[in-house]
Amino acid sequence: MPKGAAAKKSTGKAPKGEKVAEADAKTSTKGPAKALGKPVTPSKDLAEIVGDEPLPRTAVVSKMWDYIRKHELQNPEDKREILADDKLKVIFGKDKATMFELNKLLSSHLA
């Protein structure tokens, strides 16, 4: 480097062409993300909680959590555990479930 010339500092930003490709990759609707956004129809039992209109799976799970919190169905000692009321017992098939089981238990009630 010649004397008196300043070293070029990296700004950490991608060149303009790469920035567009990066943004496209984040908003791509290929693969599993597209499947999660596809509307599904809840069963009659699940519709009592989330409504009977077709919703994306993400919205169904969100509405389930709204219901669980509204009715205070999380175990106070272990917030990962959901204590089923009468409506949830029909969906879960048992008295309690963990938050990790929720998607699996809901899948049989979505078409």
Residue 38 gets which letter from DSSP?
Answer: S
Of 1-5, 23-27, 100-104, highest mean pLDDT: 100-104
What does each C-alpha distance from 17 to 14, 21, 22 come to in angstroms?
A: 8, 7, 9
Beta-sheet pairing, 74-75 with 96-98: unpaired
Listed residue (39, 79, 77) closest to 55, CA to CA: 39
Q: Are 41 and 54 in contact (CB under 8 A)?
A: yes
Least confident of 10-19, 27-36, 70-79: 10-19
Instruction: Tell me the pLDDT of the chain averaged across its residues.
Output: 82
pTM, two decimal places:
0.68
Q: What is the pLDDT of residues 87-99, one digit of tens each?
A: 999 999 999 999 9
